[in-house]
Structure 1
Amino acid sequence: MKLETLPRAAVQPTVSPRRWKAPLAALLVAVLAGGGWYAMQAPAKPAAPAPAMADGKPVIDTYELGRGDIAAVSAGTLRVRLPLSGSLTPLTQATVRAKVPGVVMDADVREGMQVAAGQVIARIEQADLGARVAQQQAMLDEASARLSLARKNNQNSQALLKQNYISQQAYDTTQNSVELAQANVKAAQAQLQLARNALNDTAIRAPFAGIISKRHVQAGEKLAPDMPVFTIVNLKQLTLEAQVPASEIPRIKTGQAVQFRVDGYPGREFGGKVARINPTTEVGSRAMLVYISVDNADTALSGGMFAKGFITTDQSAPLPLVPLAAVRQENNSDVVYTIEANKVVARPVTLGLRNEDDGMVAVKAGLQDGATVLLGKLDGVKPGSKVKLPAAPVVVAAKG
């Protein structure tokens, strides 16, 4: 048997991964080189101009302002105030006392009740005093009878003296008897009036219109003279007693207006006027009492309430008011920067009353009501600078 050898199949070459990466890298290099060449051949864009510089800082053409940078001026009355606080006391108050001794028969009024001037608010037993009036009346009648008899005797003595039946001395005796009888009558009349007054004093009356604030006795109690019976206050007029530092007293004058508030009326402001100033300081302090008259026609306020407020020590006429932050010093003059036609303008001004506490000043001349002023110093903003205003500036006005 003859064996034949078959021819071998052609062997396919095996492609290695390293072999196909090299051509790919060469292709990418070629693409990038072509793109760079194209970029170099494209026309170059003009560069942006550099901003203008001044002193190493960019120059801004228009400044945009915020609402806190400006203020709209309005006219008003500027007030300078001095804080104060103190207690309210009734201008008129009294403790009604018994004038005569006796037992209280009637005392129906109570605390908080209104009473009229002259109204009977208590009564004392009248029996003993009524008897005393009767006794004094009898004594007056007796004295009057003695006077009548003395006058008749004197008339008879005068007739006898004319006829020389009696001596001058006898006549003088009868004349003296008349004078003594007249004196006795006057004394009896005075005693009777005292008894009647005591009887009238058994009815205890209100000395003025007001409100009962304290009842000191009850029906059935025995009173001695000068014992307290009722305390009455009149709330129509009150006095605010406030302590003020002695160093501030030169600023206070009678007639100055006062505004204050009290607890219980948070939304209401009350007013008064300085009535008196105590000439001496309070013991243990360097404060002086100022007495403020308060009209309380509606009796909303009560005695003992604590008040906090202020005295208006000075005030201006209605003038344009600007914040002190808007005032500048230039060439030893007061200047305010205003915004006119979106530009900063320097306006010299004449200032009036200042209120350092509120940070406001009144302008007498150089500024009109409604002007817009620049507050504080803004970097780079000066007269002639263009500005852009916000929607609405802050309106400044006097407080209260």
Structure 2
Amino acid sequence: MRDDKQTQRLEFTSDPGAGRSKYVAAALLGLVVLWMGSGIFFPSAPEEDAEGGSEAAAAVAVQVLPSEAAPVTRRFVAKGQALPHRDSQVRAETSGNVVELLLDNGATVTKGAVIARIDDTQYQKAVAAAQEEFDRAQRELDNARTLRERGTATNDRVIQAEVDLAAAENTLTQAREALDDTAVIAPFDGRLEELPIEVGEFISAGEPAARVVDISPLTVTIQVPQQLRNRLMVGAEAQVAFLTGEATTGTIQFVAAAADPHTRTFLTEIEVANIDGAIPAGVSAEVIIATGEVTAHFISPAILSLDSQGRLGVKTVTEDDHVAFHEITIATAGTDGIWVTGLPDQARIITVGQGFVTEGDLVAPQDTAQ
């Protein structure tokens, strides 16, 4: 190659197809503009169909279950404790050494039965001395009356003899009572629950000598809230199930007139027959009391919902297929469902899909398979 050779530029101006690409590009651009503008100046006809389709899409499919209210007994359930019908701490009435135990701990006792005896030697002597003084005073009164009849004694002497006799009688009575107090006596029929004394032990007056409990019948105590106080009536029946497995029927014997100042609940006592003593005192119990009859729907707890205000309720479908929310109250609960109030007597309850709809939404209800 030579350095003086000049580079020549190729030109196609003489080619007849050289300017054709410009016209093709312009034509394509025009077609695109016309196509984009066609939606503005010539709207498509199916617009109305699209709007109808959006409304159809807004109707959420839910499953509903037709429900009819029925009468049901409302029940109050509470936890309680079985207590003895009577529980008495028997204390020594006098002081002395324990000389005899006539019963063993755990024995069945009857009212008036002697549980133990305290040494009564000094009390026997006191009774004997008081008896002698009483006899002397009686003879003195008899002599005074005889002498008054003969006219050799005044009326004042007779009156003084009567006073002395009354004092001697009082002393004798006290001595006999002290002697009787040397016996530790069961205050009622029951069971000897504690016997903390031993033979030879010295016991002072007022110290515990035995404990007797009566568990026939038992008394089950529960606490009743304020809103249910007026629904409980003395004499009404109550179902009682004990933690030991026994179940029986009791009767309301007492409902407090004043609430506990701390819990604002009312003490209630239910008496339960326990003739054979099979149910021990102190065990826990569950008490069920019927508090009236209401009209309610039976539903599963799984379909309960909360509204925007946090209220517990159930969603239903109205006649025009819109969602309605009903605040409910649980009347009673069972092992397989709950009875609730607050719904119309006839209702289509949403069982599936309630979490995806709110009050006022349009839905497409489908019956739940029974």
TM-score (norm 2): 0.62
Q: Deviations over 1:133-169 (max 9, x none)?
A: 1101110111112112211221121xxxxxxxxxxxx
Residue 111 of structure 1: how far off its partner (Å): 2.8
Letter in 2 for 1:83: V
Q: Deviations over 1:244-281 (max 9, x none)?
A: 2223323322223222322221xx42221222122333
User: Bigger CA drift: 89-98 or 243-252?
Assistant: 243-252
Which residue of the partner structure matches residue 278 of structure 1? 256
Equivalent residues in 2 for 1:1-400 (5 A)? 78-157=72-151, 174-265=154-245, 268-315=246-293, 323=298, 355-358=331-334, 359-360=338-339
Q: Distance in 1 between matches of 2:198 and 2:187?
A: 20
Letter in 1 for 2:250: G
Q: Distance in 1 between matches of 2:287 and 2:340?
A: 22
- For the residue of structure 2 that corresponds to 1:189, the secondary structure is helix
Q: Distance in 2 between matches of 1:276 and 1:130?
A: 47
Equivalent pairs counted in the alignment come to 272
Task: Verify the 8 A CA contact 2:317 2:349 in the aligned structure 1.
Answer: no
Q: Distance in 2 between matches of 1:356 and 1:152?
A: 87
Name the larger-Rg structure: 1
Identity among equivalent positions (%) equals 25
Residue 323 of structure 1: how far off its partner (Å): 3.0
Task: Verify the 8 A CA contact 1:78 1:361 in the aligned structure 2.
Answer: no
Residue 361 of structure 1: how far off its partner (Å): 8.1
Go from structure 1 to structure 2 and tell me whether the alpha carbon gap of 1:206 and 1:356 turns closer, same or farther (over 3 Å shift).
Answer: closer
Residue 118 of structure 1: how far off its partner (Å): 1.5
Q: Distance in 1 between matches of 2:208 and 2:232?
A: 39
User: Bigger CA drift: 138-147 or 296-305?
Assistant: 296-305
Q: Distance in 2 between matches of 1:94 and 1:360?
A: 45
Q: Distance in 2 between matches of 1:143 and 1:305?
A: 60
Q: Distance in 1 between matches of 2:149 and 2:157?
A: 12
- For the residue of structure 2 that corresponds to 1:154, the secondary structure is helix
Q: Distance in 2 between matches of 1:191 and 1:97?
A: 24
- For the residue of structure 2 that corresponds to 1:176, the secondary structure is helix
**After TM superposition, where is structure 1 displaced by more than 4 Å over at least 4 residues in a row?**
68-71, 328-331, 373-382
Residue 303 of structure 1: how far off its partner (Å): 1.6
Go from structure 1 to structure 2 and tell me whether the alpha carbon gap of 1:322 and 1:183 turns closer, same or farther (over 3 Å shift).
Answer: same
Q: Deviations over 1:190-240 (max 9, x none)?
A: 211221222122222211110011112111111222221111011101211
Q: Distance in 2 between matches of 1:109 and 1:156?
A: 60
Which residue of the partner structure matches residue 337 of structure 1? none
Q: Deviations over 1:74-105 (max 9, x none)?
A: x9x83211121121111212111111221111
Letter in 2 for 1:176: D
Task: Verify the 8 A CA contact 1:257 1:274 in the aligned structure 2.
Answer: yes
Residue 70 of structure 1: how far off its partner (Å): 8.8
Residue 132 of structure 1: how far off its partner (Å): 0.5
- For the residue of structure 2 that corresponds to 1:297, the secondary structure is coil
Gaps of 5+ in 1: 1-54, 58-64, 158-170, 332-353, 367-372, 394-400
Residue 282 of structure 1: how far off its partner (Å): 2.5
- For the residue of structure 1 that corresponds to 2:198, the secondary structure is coil
Gaps of 5+ in 2: 1-54, 58-62, 301-315, 320-329, 353-363
